[in-house]
Chains A and B, each alone.
Chain A
Amino acid sequence: QSALTQPASVSGSPGQSITISCTGTSSDVGGYNYVSWYQQRPGKAPKLMIYDVSHRPSGVSNRFSGFKSGNTAALTISGLQAEDEADYYCSSGTGKNTPVFGGGTKLTVL
């Protein structure tokens, strides 16, 4: 299973909105509503931010939202804050009940 495709980096100013894309195939992103997004700060473990395309776990800010169209999913962060600066990874379920991850996107808050 090939990794999902994400941009290497995105940036935005405080208060702005940014969107990170995640492109897969019909065998993963396009075939299942099992897209998740993780935030990883330096030296820390990943944290689940979005699951099942658009659901937020308890405690995650509603500034984070997700959606999917065809083989591409996306994470939008609105009202960007300095604390949002981190690496973001998408993942998708597959037909084998196993996840495939994206290569990660480094978010810089200017």
Chain B
Amino acid sequence: EVQLVESGGGLVQPGGSLRLSCAASGFSFSSYWMHWVRQVPGKGLAWVSHIKSDETTTYADSVKGRFTISRDKAKSTLYLQMSSLRAEDTAVYYCARDLYGSGSSLDSWGQGTLVTVSS
């Protein structure tokens, strides 16, 4: 069974940093593109970043230069290093698996971890 479990969320001050983790199991982690998607409570979904199986990374304009996606294949864990955090980064962050590398079909999602940026 495919499982994705996020952790690392919490309360952080504006300008601060946080690292999110997503532990994957039940599939060949290194073979799949992986994404981070966020959702402001009560609002819609917004794509944040992805990392392809060849380690190529892409970011939404709103986080480019502040967030870094990476993965540890040995630990089957996806990361999102977030820095220079702003109030508008407050959201539930989900990691998700890309079904076959289309960049669009996210077939498995974690339960999400809440990041709150506030003083």
Contacts and interface: CB of A to CB of B under 8 A. Distances in A.
Given A96-B58, A97-B102, A98-B50, A51 B107 contact: yes
Contacts of A46: 37, 45, 94, 96, 106, 109
Contacts, number: 73
B103 interface: yes
Given A51-B99, A97-B58, A36 B45 contact: no
B111 interface: yes
Contacts of B104: 32, 34-36, 51, 91-93, 99
A80 to B, nearest CB: 23
Given A51-B104, A91-B104, A101 B110 contact: no
Interface in A18-62: 32, 34-36, 38, 45-48, 51-52, 57
Given A89-B45, A101-B47, A102-B44, A36 B112 contact: no
B105 interface: yes
B46 interface: yes
Given A48-B105, A103-B44, 7 more contacts: A47-B109, A51-B104, A51-B107, A96-B103, A98-B103, A99-B104, A100-B47
Nearest to A105: B44
Interface string B35-67: 101000000111100101000001010000000
Interface of A: 3, 32, 34-36, 38, 45-48, 51-52, 57, 89, 91-94, 96-104
B109 A45 contact: yes
Nearest to A28: B104
Given A51-B99, A92-B104, A104 B45 contact: yes
